[in-house]
A = this chain, B = another copy of it.
């Protein structure tokens, strides 16, 4: 009865990241639930690190969203939420940004959230965006891993570093829920949660979970012939 289709777009052109998303979203592929497809924005830069990288994908994302008229919900899988508002303008279907979804999900799992960023330079951009969302009141702190993306990927030390930075968020900053501030760290989520003893949110999983719910509800109404209310 539900079914439907969610499109998760990796706005960078790194196929390994897309494959990682695909793996991370397996638990949300429920038998009778919406299909979850992951795709790479081929026009995107190899990684989204600067404001220019962010701006370079906004219109390609909007065009891609417009083109997929058969899709029930979209997820933009980059923690900077590039192009979120132009994509929302481009379609009446729900569009989820992973930072936004990660933060609002964290708000329902703890009182003050900490964020683990990959690089320190993206933190000011994230804080500016938190202000835009009006959600800074419950931020405990955001701390960087201070690793290159390459180092993060090889991962030998990534988990140890996550535990150290996440631990500082919990012990020193008072966070009782932690968000992975990046689309590519989902494989560490459960382990980090066990290590820290507080909920850890992978933002792409959070966004897709919200999309699953939105699609299920929208399709039920469509089947019922929606405006049958009174």
Contact = CB atoms under 8 A, between A and B. Distances in A.
A78 to B, nearest CB: 15
Interface string A47-71: 0001110111011001000000000
Given A32-B32, A107-B100, A209-B212, A194 B89 contact: no
Interface residues of A, number: 86
A150 to B, nearest CB: 17
Interface string A156-168: 0011100000000
A56 to B, nearest CB: 6
Number of copies: 6
A148 interface: no
Interface in A86-125: 86, 88-90, 94, 96-97, 100-101, 104-105, 107-109, 111-112, 123-125
Interface of A: 1-2, 26-28, 30-33, 50-52, 54-56, 58-59, 62, 83, 85-86, 88-90, 94, 96-97, 100-101, 104-105, 107-109, 111-112, 123-125, 127-129, 131-138, 155, 158-160, 174, 176, 187-195, 199, 202, 205-206, 208-210, 212-214, 216-217, 219-221, 224, 226-230
The 10 closest A-B pairs by CB, nearest first: A209-B213, A191-B229, A31-B32, A27-B220, A134-B137, A159-B230, A132-B132, A104-B104, A194-B227, A190-B221
